[in-house]
Amino acid sequence: MEIFRGRRLWIEQRDVSLPNGLVRQKLIVHPSDAVVILPIEDDHCKFIRQYRYAIDDYILEAPAGAMETGEDPLKAAGRELIEETGFAARVIEPRGFIITTPGYTDEKIFLYEARELSPSQEFVKDEDEVIEVVDIPVNNLNAMIRDGSIVDAKTICLIYRCLGC
């Protein structure tokens, strides 16, 4: 049974047959799939400092965003990189995907590493996003994860997949 349907996600309640034979009623959140990109230039990464209303705070994260219905993840990565940083990448390499929170959602985020960056003429900032682009030295990332400066899970996974930190 559908509980809610919005532009980017829908929520359903359904009976789920578990591997042990039990049947339980569960809520499942179905958001749009998404992409996250680690733009690397020389020995720096371009991150964003973005206001996130769900936590009522700013957070440091890699550029990311929801995919449009039917959109190719690689094309979405290129689009989101431009939308959030103003930079395009000549090289965008896939680094797999993650399942964010399988206890209640089927959300999948595709991971990408971007290199050979240049300012984009297509840059148009979304009006509902409060974003500042921040250059961070690659050598600082491990310490920033450890000290809590970077707490965004998708960003931490992306750093690990791209740089092995």
pLDDT in tens, 64-106: 999 999 999 999 999 999 999 999 999 999 999 999 999 999 9
Quick one: tokens of 58? 């700013």
Q: Is residue 83 part of a domain?
A: yes
Could you tell me which residue, 8 or 147, shows the higher pLDDT?
Answer: 147
Q: What is the pLDDT of residue 123?
A: 67
Q: Is residue 103 part of a domain?
A: no
Q: Is residue 66 part of a domain?
A: yes
Q: Is residue 17 part of a domain?
A: no
Q: Give the separation between CA 119 and CA 154, rounded to whole angstroms.
A: 25
Domain coverage including residue 119: 33-94+111-163
Could you tell me which residue, 132 or 130, shows the higher pLDDT?
Answer: 132
Q: Is residue 61 part of a domain?
A: yes
Q: Give the separation between CA 9 and CA 18, rounded to whole angstroms.
A: 24
Place of tokens 């965004």: 152
Place of tokens 């050598």: 139
Task: State yes or no: is 127 an active-site residue.
Answer: yes
Quick one: tokens of 37? 């990109």
Give the mean pLDDT of 2-7.
Answer: 93
pTM: 0.93
Q: Is residue 18 part of a domain?
A: no
Quote the number of domains for the chain: 1
Give the mean pLDDT of 134-152.
Answer: 97
β-strands 34-41, 108-119 pairing:
parallel
Residue of 61, 127, 129, 132 with catalytic role: 127
